[in-house]
Amino acid sequence: MGLVEYKKKRNFNETAEPAGAVKKSKDKLAFVIQRHKASRLHYDFRLEMEGVLKSWAVPKGPSLNPKDKRLAMMVEDHPYDYKNFAGEIPEGNYGAGIVEIWDEGTYEYIDGEGIDDEKKLMTGLKSGNLKFIMHGKKLKGEFALVRLKGEDEKSWLLIKHRDDYAVDEDYSSEEDTPKNSPINKWLAQHGKGEPTSKKKVQ
């Protein structure tokens, strides 16, 4: 996919998001999950593959409970440097709002033996069945991303596999977010509604 679509959507004179280039981790593959308060609060799940971040928007956030199948909408590839991005995207720009890093770390193909991981991951990505092990602060162990059959080809499900890191109780990524995170501070001041759209109605 490359970064053409990513760059087309953004004006880098206005947003502090990285314009970015194709880059790779030296050793292990990186992942990041950003919590993003845009017109709606959602999570952006990003996996490094072939020098870019393959990206999915997850409206409800990830779960550690294998019973939860979380809808994940595939979006445009993001540059490798986006994994370090947190801050504000100014009003009038694509994705305007606040981005914070919710979890980060490394990940690997499920039978990962290092160097061929990316080829196997790309094969999984193309076939709509991606299995991997996450080494994050919050997300650990085996996960799968499975593409739903349908005309848009963009809808996937993010599912935790049953392992030592899985939980049986209800899991909420919102509750697993520090109360003083930048977005939570904003929400505490402005409320959980959608203030911009409400203002327009009045």
Closer Cβ to Mn ion, 44 or 108, answer by number? 44
Is residue 53 within 8 A of residue 83, CB to CB? The reply is yes
Work out how close the CB of 84 gets to Mn ion at its nearest, in angstroms, rounded to a whole number: 15
Closer Cβ to Mn ion, 95 or 112, answer by number? 95
* Residues 114-173 close enough to bind Mn ion by CB under 5 A: none
Q: Is 44 near Mn ion (CB under 5 A)?
A: yes
Judged by CB under 5 A, which stretch of 38-46, 128-136, 140-148, 181-189 contacts Mn ion?
Answer: 38-46
Work out how close the CB of 15 gets to Mn ion at its nearest, in angstroms, rounded to a whole number: 13
Structure tokens, 47: 């996996």
Structure tokens, 65: 């409970």
Work out how close the CB of 56 gets to Mn ion at its nearest, in angstroms, rounded to a whole number: 10
Judged by CB under 5 A, which stretch of 3-11, 20-28, 40-48, 103-111 contacts Mn ion?
Answer: 40-48
Cα 169 to Cα 43, 67, 177, 182: the distances in Å are 21, 10, 17, 27
| 88-117 per-residue burial string, b: 16 or more CB within 10 A, e: under 16 | ebeeebebbbbbbebbbbebbbbebeeeeb
DSSP string, 3-44: SHHHHHT--TTT--S--------SSSEEEEEEEEESSSEEEE
Closer Cβ to Mn ion, 110 or 187, answer by number? 187
Work out how close the CB of 95 gets to Mn ion at its nearest, in angstroms, rounded to a whole number: 5
Judged by CB under 5 A, which stretch of 29-37, 86-94, 110-118, 136-144 contacts Mn ion?
Answer: 29-37
Judged by CB under 5 A, which stretch of 30-38, 84-92, 102-110, 145-153 contacts Mn ion?
Answer: 30-38
**Among the listed residues 36, 54, 140, 160, the single contact to Mn ion using CB under 5 A:** 36
DSSP string, 111-159: T--STTHHHHHHHHHHHTEEEEEEEESS-EEEEEEEEPPSSSS-EEEEE
Work out how close the CB of 105 gets to Mn ion at its nearest, in angstroms, rounded to a whole number: 19
Binding footprint of Mn ion on the chain (CB under 5 A): 36, 44
